[in-house]
Amino acid sequence: MNRGLTAALILFVIFATGCQSQTEQVDTGPAGTAGPDPVWTSTHDVAWDIVAASDFVTLITLDAAGQPQARMLEAIPPDSGQFNVWMGTNVNSAKVQEINNDPRATLYYQRRDNSGYVTLRGRADIVDDPVLKEKYWRPHWTAFYPDPETMYVLIHFTPENGEVVSLSQGIRGDSLTWAAPEFGF
């Protein structure tokens, strides 16, 4: 067995034996129906810390053929106390067309030290409201959008559920399947 494969196997065994399945149930309302205010858990707190500290986010949309398309964007800190996320983009970008065709999207955030991540799954929509565009505008974007009134739009992402891994907080994937703990909204 070559040394690279041996090292990978050792890391796998260390990771798998050190992992504990940690999931938190979110109260979604009676009989499994979505309640108006999901319970905020410690898993949400850990995910929030990762999302709020991120400089960049990967937005994953679906193209016309259903193929996922991933792009890195500047992460605007989410709305306080919520996971609603805003991103700026070019009105003519492929992601705008993809979101207009199919609003399903995923956001992926990774800790700077690579010790954890958050995946948010939900829906995105394109927003061209001048008041909101001004609210989320970043001055350094002028280089990308010389005419922001016509070139720049917002992507508003509303999560439906997510998953988180944070080694520093003891939140790890399942020891058998590596499935990350999930949380809802």
Q: What is the pLDDT of residue 49?
A: 93
Query: In the predicted model, is pLDDT for residue 1 greater than 50?
Result: no
Q: 165: which strand partners?
A: 117
Cα separation, 160 vs 89, in Å, equals: 22
Task: Write out the residue range of the structural domain in which residue 119 sits.
Answer: 3-184
- 106 close to 119: Cβ distance less than 8 angstroms: yes
pLDDT at 38: 62
Number of domains making up the chain: 1
Residue whose C-alpha is closest to residue 81's, from 28, 107, 44: 44
Q: pTM of this prediction? A: 0.79
Residue range 96-122: mean pLDDT, rounded: 97
| Domain CATH number, residue 106 | 2.30.110.10
* 27-79 pLDDT tens trace: 332 333 333 456 888 999 999 999 999 999 999 999 999 999 999 999 898 87
What are 69-85's pLDDT values in tens digits? Answer: 999 999 898 876 778 99
Contacts of residue 20, defined as CB under 8 A and 6 or more positions apart, other chains included, come to 170, 172, 175
